[in-house]
Structure 1
Amino acid sequence: MYVWGHSFEFDRNDNWSVIEEFSEMIGHRDDIWYATNIEIVDYNEAFDRLQMFADNEYIYNPSACSVWVAVNNKHIVEIPGGETVKL
């Protein structure tokens, strides 16, 4: 989910309660990444730079940040920056 907007919209529409309830629901959770726009861009670029070995058993992450991949839609695997991981 990607959420963005301007605070003046809540004043204009007199619906601050909508964003307050939403914020209470999604705030302070370990399973949500609260990222800025540039963090999302940087992550996507790091993901695009991942290098799969010919046998598809190993993956190399040449970037500095960790990237997570789903293996067979079952397991989530972290590929730390600068490392090669067996999938």
Structure 2
Amino acid sequence: MANTKSAKKAARQTVRRTEVNKSRRSAVKSSVRKVEEAIASGDKAAATAALKAAEPSLVRTAQKGVMHPRTASRKVSRLSQRVKAMA
């Protein structure tokens, strides 16, 4: 257990940040899954729209430090490559 006032505050902040980060990570997974489902169904218009929605959330998650920037970049790149190949 935290002993000092600053350590107690840090513990409270960690709990709050963890909740926010979990929420962000979950939202990113959902948006990526929507793109993958659209690709699987073969609907290029839906896949493109889902990718346009997923890309900003991936980038934002990387900027906030929830995900490594290169991981986000790689995911965007691979998804856009798969959408592009649907033509």
Q: TM-score, normalised by structure 2?
A: 0.29
Q: TM-score, normalised by structure 1?
A: 0.29
Which one has a larger percent strand, Structure 1 or Structure 2?
1
Which one has a larger percent helix, Structure 1 or Structure 2?
2
Structure of higher RCO (CA pairs closer than 8 Å, 6+ residues apart):
2
